[in-house]
C-alpha cells in the first residue's frame, strides 16, 4: 500500500512540475505576444512595467504609422486570397490595428474579409489555416457543450454567429471549412456596427460533410465522415442553444448562417420564440433586398403593392424576401392573400404552381393557379413582372433576352442579381445597364465596378450586401436586450436603410448608401430598432435610455489603444492573449 501511495505522490509531483513549466512558458509567450498586440506603440514606461523592454526596437510609433506599414505590406500581396490571409494574421496579432485598417477604407477591405473573397478562403481553408479562431463543437461533443463554452475566455458574449457549413454562400457543403463565414460576419459586426469584438463568438457545429473531395483532402480540418442527420443532429442543436443561453443569458443573440434550406427554415421556426435568434440568409437578406426595393420605388414612382415580382430561386433567401415584401404590401393596405398573389417563384423544376408535385410547405404558399412552365425566359415573357430577383446561385440565369424583355414592358425594370459570390451572379451590372439602355434598376449581392453608359452617365451599382443590415440589427438587439426578434424588426431596419438613400445616390444608380458610410448607417438602424423595441414592449433592458442615439454611441468599439496597468488582473478585457496570461 505504501508503495502504491508513493507512486501516486511521485506522479503527482511530476504533474505539478509539468504544470509549472507550462505556466512559465505561457507567461513568456504572453510577454512576447504583448509585443505583437500593440507593438511599437507601447511607451517606454509601459514597456518597463510590462517587462517587455528590449523585446521591441527602441523607436516609438503611433497607430497611424502602424496603419501605413500595414497598407504598404497589403499592397505587396499578389492576389485576394493572399490579402485575406494577411488581414486574418493581423487580426490575430493586433485586433485594434486590424479594425483600424478595415475601417480606414471599408469599401476596399470588405470584399476581402467578406464576400466574395471569403468564399474562396473557405474553399481553401485547410491550406491557409494558421491559428484557430472561434469555437469548434462537433457532433461527438454532445453532453459536454456547456463545458466547451467554459473554455472560451470571454464571459460577456452578446453575439454568436453559428454555421454547420452545409450551404456556404453558393458553394455548397464545405463542412468545417465554413468557419470562415462566422469569423467574417462577426468581423463586420465590429467594423460596421461597432459591436466590441470580445462580445462576439464565431461557432462551427461540425457534424461531418458530404463533400467527398474534402473527405479525401489531407488538409481538411474537420470530421472525416458523412453528415450526421436526424435526431442526433437535432439534439446537438437543442443542447447548443440552451448552453449558449445558460452561459451568456437569454438576450445573447444567436445568428444562424449558411445552413441548408430545410434546416434553416425548420430551426428558425423552432427557436425564434424560444431564444434571441435570427437567420441571416432568410431575414437579413430579406431586409436588405426590401430596402433596395423601397428605394427603387422612389425611381418608379409607385407603391410596393403595384409590383409583380418573379424570383429565380425558391430557397431560404427567396422565401425570406417574399415574406417581408408581403408585410410591406400589407402595410400599404393590401390583404395578405392578395400580397401573395403578387409574388411568383421559379425553382430548378420551373414555375411553382398549384398542383405541382412535392412542394414544401414554404413553396406551397407561393403556388398559384397557372399552367406549368419550365423556362425562366418563358415565365418572364408570360407574367411580365416589374421586378426580377435572383437568389438561386445560377450564374448567367438572367440572359440577354430576359433583360431585354424586362425593359420592353417596363420603363424602369428592377433587376436584382443577389447571388454570391460574384461568380454565381445572375447577370453583371454592365449587362443590366446595357440591355436596358440605362433604364434598369440594378442591385447585386457582390460588388460590381461602376459602368459608364454611351450617353456619358456613370452608374454605381447598388450592392445589396447583408452587411447593411445584420451589424445594425445586432447592435440594436443587444443594446436593448431584445429576447425574441420579430419580423417587424427587420421591416423596421429595411425602412430605415431605404430612408438613408439620398436623391443623389438614386441618380447615380445606388439603391443603398455608400459603403463608406456603413458605420453611421448601422448606428442609425440600431437607434430605430431600439425605438421600435421600447415602443412595442419587446426590450428588456432597463431603464429605457432617454437619448437612444447617445446611448448607442456609448457602446461602440473604439480602435484607440488602451492605457495599460501592470496588475495582471486589471488588464483590458478585450485581449484574449492577456486573458490567457491571467493564469
Cβ proximity of 499 and 448 under 8 Å: no
What does DSSP assign to residue 117? Answer: H
CA atoms within 13 A on the CB side of 392: 22
Asked about 468 being catalytic, the answer comes back as: no
- State the angle between helix axes of 518-535 and 180-193 in degrees (0 to 180), rounded to the nearest 10: 90
Q: Considering only the C-alpha atoms of the chain, give the largest distance between any 2 of them, rounded to a whole number of Å.
A: 97
Q: Where are the alpha helices (DSSP H) in 353-486?
A: 361-364, 376-383, 400-408, 429-435, 470-479
Q: How far apart are CA 339 and CA 306, in angstroms?
A: 10
Burial class of residue 324 in the structure, from the number of CB atoms within 10 Å of its CB (0-12 exposed, 13-18 middle, 19+ buried): buried
Cβ proximity of 357 and 339 under 8 Å: no
Cell (9 digits) for 23: 505556466
Select which of 84, 96, 99, 185 is catalytic.
Answer: 185
Q: How far apart are CA 557 and CA 403, in angstroms?
A: 44
Cell (9 digits) for 92: 490575430
Cell (9 digits) for 241: 442553444
Strand, coil or helix: 443: strand
Q: How far apart are CA 71 and CA 314, in angstroms?
A: 42
Burial class of residue 384 in the structure, from the number of CB atoms within 10 Å of its CB (0-12 exposed, 13-18 middle, 19+ buried): middle
- Find the length of the chain: 583
Cβ proximity of 282 and 264 under 8 Å: yes
What does DSSP assign to residue 353? Answer: B
Which run of H or E residues covers position 354? none
Q: Where are the alpha helices (DSSP H) in 141-218?
A: 145-151, 180-193, 212-215
Q: How far apart are CA 502 and CA 513, in angstroms?
A: 8
Cell (9 digits) for 123: 474553399
Select which of 114, 125, 468, 561 is catalytic.
Answer: 114
- Both ends of the chain: CA-CA distance in Å? 36
SS3 readout for 125-157: HHHHCCCCCCEEEEHHHCCCHHHHHHHCCCCCC
Asked about 185 being catalytic, the answer comes back as: yes
Q: Grid cell 412542394 — which residue?
A: 359
Catalytic residue positions, numbered: 114, 185
Amino acid at each position: 500500500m505504501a508503495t502504491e501511495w508513493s507512486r501516486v505522490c511521485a506522479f503527482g509531483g511530476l504533474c505539478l512540475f509539468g504544470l509549472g513549466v507550462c505556466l512559465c512558458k505561457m507567461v513568456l509567450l504572453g510577454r512576447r505576444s504583448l509585443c505583437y498586440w500593440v507593438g511599437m506603440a507601447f511607451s517606454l514606461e509601459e514597456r518597463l512595467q510590462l517587462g517587455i523592454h528590449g523585446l521591441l526596437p527602441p523607436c516609438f510609433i503611433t497607430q497611424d504609422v502602424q496603419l501605413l506599414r500595414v497598407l504598404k505590406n497589403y499592397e505587396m500581396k499578389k492576389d485576394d486570397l493572399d490579402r485575406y490571409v494577411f488581414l486574418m494574421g493581423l487580426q490575430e496579432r493586433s485586433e485594434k490595428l486590424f479594425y483600424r485598417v478595415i475601417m480606414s477604407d471599408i469599401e476596399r477591405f470588405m470584399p476581402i474579409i467578406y464576400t466574395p473573397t471569403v468564399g474562396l478562403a473557405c474553399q481553401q481553408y485547410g491550406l491557409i489555416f494558421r491559428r484557430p479562431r472561434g469555437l469548434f463543437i462537433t457532433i461527438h461533443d454532445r453532453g459536454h457543450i456547456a463545458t466547451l463554452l467554459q473554455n472560451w475566455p470571454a464571459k460577456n458574449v452578446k453575439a454568436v454567429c453559428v454555421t454547420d457549413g452545409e450551404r456556404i454562400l453558393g458553394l455548397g457543403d464545405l463542412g468545417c471549412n465554413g468557419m470562415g463565414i462566422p469569423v467574417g460576419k462577426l468581423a463586420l459586426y465590429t467594423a460596421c456596427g461597432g459591436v466590441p469584438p470580445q462580445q462576439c463568438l464565431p461557432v462551427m457545429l461540425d457534424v461531418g460533410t458530404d463533400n467527398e473531395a474534402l473527405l479525401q483532402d489531407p488538409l481538411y480540418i474537420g470530421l472525416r465522415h458523412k453528415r450526421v442527420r436526424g435526431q442526433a443532429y437535432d439534439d446537438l442543436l437543442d443542447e447548443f442553444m440552451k448552453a449558449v443561453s445558460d452561459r451568456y443569458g437569454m438576450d445573447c443573440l444567436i445568428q444562424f448562417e449558411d445552413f441548408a434550406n430545410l434546416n434553416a427554415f425548420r430551426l428558425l421556426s423552432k427557436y425564434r420564440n424560444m431564444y434571441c435568434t435570427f437567420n441571416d440568409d432568410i431575414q437579413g437578406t430579406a431586409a436588405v433586398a426590401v430596402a433596395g426595393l423601397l428605394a427603387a420605388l422612389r425611381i418608379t414612382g409607385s407603391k410596393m403593392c403595384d409590383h409583380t415580382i418573379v424570383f429565380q430561386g425558391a430557397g431560404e433567401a427567396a422565401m425570406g424576401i417574399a415574406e417581408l415584401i408581403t408585410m410591406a404590401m400589407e402595410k400599404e393596405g393590401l390583404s395578405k392573400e392578395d400580397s401573395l398573389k403578387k409574388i411568383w417563384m421559379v425553382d430548378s423544376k420551373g414555375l411553382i404552381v398549384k398542383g405541382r408535385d412535392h412542394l414544401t410547405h414554404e413553396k406551397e404558399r407561393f403556388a398559384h393557379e397557372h399552367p406549368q412552365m419550365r423556362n425562366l425566359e418563358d415565365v418572364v415573357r408570360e407574367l411580365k413582372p416589374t421586378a426580377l430577383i435572383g437568389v438561386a446561385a445560377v450564374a448567367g440565369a438572367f440572359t440577354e433576352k430576359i433583360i431585354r424583355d424586362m425593359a420592353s414592358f417596363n420603363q424602369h425594370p428592377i433587376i436584382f442579381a443577389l447571388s454570391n459570390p460574384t461568380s454565381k451572379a445572375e447577370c453583371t451590372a454592365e449587362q443590366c445597364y446595357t440591355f436596358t439602355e440605362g433604364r434598369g434598376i440594378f442591385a447585386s449581392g457582390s460588388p460590381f465596378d461602376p459602368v459608364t453608359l454611351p450617353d456619358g452617365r456613370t452608374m454605381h451599382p447598388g450592392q445589396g450586401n447583408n452587411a447593411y443590415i445584420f451589424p445594425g440589427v445586432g447592435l440594436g438587439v443587444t443594446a436593448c436586450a431584445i429576447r425574441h426578434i420579430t419580423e417587424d424588426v427587420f421591416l423596421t431596419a429595411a425602412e430605415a436603410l431605404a430612408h438613408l438613400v439620398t436623391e443623389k445616390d438614386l441618380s447615380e444608380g445606388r439603391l443603398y448608401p455608400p459603403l463608406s458610410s456603413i458605420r453611421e448607417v448601422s448606428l442609425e438602424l440600431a437607434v430605430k430598432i431600439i425605438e421600435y423595441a421600447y415602443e412595442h414592449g419587446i426590450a428588456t433592458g432597463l431603464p429605457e435610455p432617454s437619448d437612444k442615439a447617445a446611448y448607442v454611441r456609448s457602446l461602440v468599439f473604439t480602435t484607440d489603444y488602451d492605457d495599460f496597468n501592470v496588475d495582471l488582473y486589471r488588464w483590458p478585457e478585450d485581449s484574449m492573449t492577456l486573458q490567457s496570461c491571467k493564469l
